[in-house]
Structure 1
Amino acid sequence: MTSMTLEVLLPFGLFASETGVSRIVVETVQGSFGLLPLRLDCVAALTPGILYFQDDTQREVFIALDEGVLVKTGQKVMISVRRAIRSTDLAHLHDAIKQQFLQQDAEEAALSLSMVKLESGFMNRFASMQDEKL
């Protein structure tokens, strides 16, 4: 039986590399999109969602993906996204996504507060320099 190779790439490295993949289902801008090994080559824009794939042993794996791009050439499928979380259990994946988003929201809030402090400090120093020139 013909199978595919799946690679999921993140900005900082390789997230997953799977061989013997028999089918892939992923969310695209136009909706759910399925790939089988003999499908023609294609490119698709991905929306945040769940990628589902089966290997030759019929093992099911789920990967939550951020937006990105999918490229299929021959038997190789490459996906490039900003973030990904993997699980063989959808309930566990849901909990992991919630936890990561809560952590990310807290980090973004802290970063936003730091940026506001830097900007206000810069503006205060700039204003004091302008006052000294006058």
Structure 2
Amino acid sequence: MDESGKETAIMEMRLQVLLPTGILVNERVIKIIAEAENGSFCLLPRHIDFVAALVPGILSFYPPNGGECFAAVDEGVLVKCGHEVFVSTLSGVRGTDLNQLEALIDERFLDLDEHERKARTALARLEAGTLRGFKELQDKK
């Protein structure tokens, strides 16, 4: 409350970027910019509660004292609930050089997605072959 007894608006959010191995970011911020499948979006403290599936990209956040901070994040989920914003992702790196962070995303996160796609395709082939084998065994009975 302010001096007149009126409630003052909260103009900050708490951002936490959570990795399987720990917390990458745990800060008060006034603005967050992230990237989902359908494009970039901005969150401000009075934004409605929100959930988004993130794609590999740059997460920008702005502390109350000014400046701009960055983190490269892999696929993940962002949840805004009240004045708390949680980002859960498998990997992420904080940095100040945008070019370096974008290169990291291309090399590490997007390349990993391609390896995962190939592994899933190989697994699907194995599963299909196993099911065909079982079907052949059933047909012989």
CA contact (8 A) 1:51 1:65 kept: no
Q: Post-superposition shift, 1:65?
A: 5.1
Closer, same or farther: CA 110–79 of 1 in aligned 2, 3 Å: closer
Runs of 4+ with deviation above 6 angstroms: none
2:133 pairs with 1:124: yes
2:112 pairs with 1:64: no
Instruction: Give the aligned partner of residue 110 of structure 2.
Output: 101
Q: Post-superposition shift, 1:109?
A: 0.6
Please, which runs of 5 or more residues in structure 2 have no aligned partner?
Answer: 1-10
CA contact (8 A) 1:62 1:90 kept: no
Larger strand percent:
1
Closer, same or farther: CA 96–22 of 1 in aligned 2, 3 Å: same
SS at match of 1:45: strand
Please, which runs of 5 or more residues in structure 1 have no aligned partner?
Answer: none
Q: How many percent of aligned residue pairs carry the same amino acid?
A: 20
SS at match of 1:113: helix
Give the alignment of 1:1-134 within 5 angstroms.
3-9=12-18, 12=20, 15-27=23-35, 29=38, 32-35=41-44, 37=45, 39-48=46-55, 49-55=57-63, 56=65, 58-64=67-73, 66=75, 68-74=77-83, 76-80=84-88, 82-88=89-95, 89-99=97-107, 100-131=109-140, 133=141
Q: Post-superposition shift, 1:26?
A: 2.6
CA contact (8 A) 1:61 1:87 kept: yes
TM score, norm. by length of structure 2: 0.64
